[in-house]
Amino acid sequence: MRKTVLKVALVQIGPVRGDVEGNLERVRQSLAEARRMGCEVALLPEVWSTGFYPGLSARLACRLGEGHFAAASRLSREHGLYLAGSLFERSAGEDGSGDYIYNTAHLYGPAGSLLAAYRKIHVFRHAGEDRYIRSGDRPVLAELPTGTAGLAVCYDLRFPELFRGYAAAGASVILLPAAWPAERSSHWRLLLQARAVENQCYMAGVNCVDAASGTGQSGESFPDRSGGAGGSGTGHNRGEMGEAISREKGGDRRIYGGGSMLVDPWGRVLVELGDGEEVGCGEIDLDHLEEIRRAFPVLGDRRLP
């Protein structure tokens, strides 16, 4: 019999640049807390094992089943959790040729098996992410005990057609890891709620916060348009995770906004975290979702493709 209620952990951390072992230990401790809270699914931020540094992705990326992907499998098995997030993936192209880097969302089952891998479709071209990361080309659905889940990553949130496609395919929840900037936190909150309301589904979004150690989260390897990573540009760190970010006179500027959220199909915020490292827990209730869709059948009134 299909479960109707699923407890989801929002695991909000501040990955330290390139410190895979340290970030893995931070995640391990957070997952132990999620398990103590009775959660069955845990969602991590975007590229949680390395921090978001596309300029370093060629060195940090791994093939599916290796490196940090193998570590994610072990963590899900160790804690008996469904585990979602995203990692830098190295892979040949769809035709088997080339050597590309993708920003790949993963979903592992409690036994450690890879249930789904989604390659971020909308890379953040405005900030030059496309210079390092290849776009994926297909949405990906996966099965959770309460039904179907869609996978998306960060900047995808600005493209409603992806989420409408997931809803049309029967998704009850969408899992979205992110590295979203503090300066656009209002967009983050608004868009998560909008995607939930317009598709009458749960939206779980987990964002990064700044690394507690203060290392690597400001202006290092992500280029602006005037120079590449480590080149002659301004040294700013850019992206949907932090556009034109630099150290400012008079103190450090906050880069990542935190504010991880679980939103229900009516747009109600069930869980909302602050701007520090923490774990929050909320419930996906399939009966609640189906009640909303029956009482207010918006999706059945669509007239355009």
Contacts of 205 (CB under 8 A, 6+ apart): 157, 176, 177, 178, 188, 192, 260, 261, 263
Answer yes or no: is pLDDT of 122 > 80: yes
175 torsion bin: left (phi>0), alpha (psi -120 to 50), beta (else): beta
Residue 150 has pLDDT above 70, yes or no: yes
pLDDT per position as a tens digit, 160-203: 999 999 999 999 999 999 999 999 999 999 999 999 999 999 99
> Bridge partners of 127?
none
Angle (CA) 127-71-37 rounded to 5° is 95
Domain residue ranges in the chain? 5-301
Structure letter (DSSP) for residue 263: E
164-192 per-residue burial string, b: 16 or more CB within 10 A, e: under 16: bebbeeebbbbbbbbbbbbebbeebbebb
Q: Residues 5-301: name the CATH superfamily.
A: Carbon-nitrogen hydrolase (3.60.110.10)
Q: 149 near 141, Cβ under 8 Å?
A: yes
Burial of 269 (0-12, 13-18, 19+ CB in 10 A): middle
Report the pLDDT value the prediction gives residue 216, as an integer from 0 to 100.
37
Over residues 240-252, the mean pLDDT reads: 37
pLDDT tens per residue, range 217-227: 332 233 333 33
The three-state secondary structure class of 281 is strand
What is the residue-averaged pLDDT of the chain?
Answer: 88
pLDDT of residue 248 exceeding 80: no
pLDDT for the residue numbered 98: 80
SS3 132: coil
Q: In the predicted model, what is the mean pLDDT of residues 84-98?
A: 88
Least confident of 61-70, 94-103, 110-119, 288-297: 94-103
In the prediction, which pLDDT does 2 show?
Answer: 78
Q: Is the pLDDT of residue 287 over 60?
A: yes
pLDDT for 252 equals 54
Q: How confident is the model at residue 116 (pLDDT cuts 50, 70, 90)?
A: very high
How far lies 71's CA from each of 34, 67, 84, 147, in Å?
A: 18, 6, 13, 26
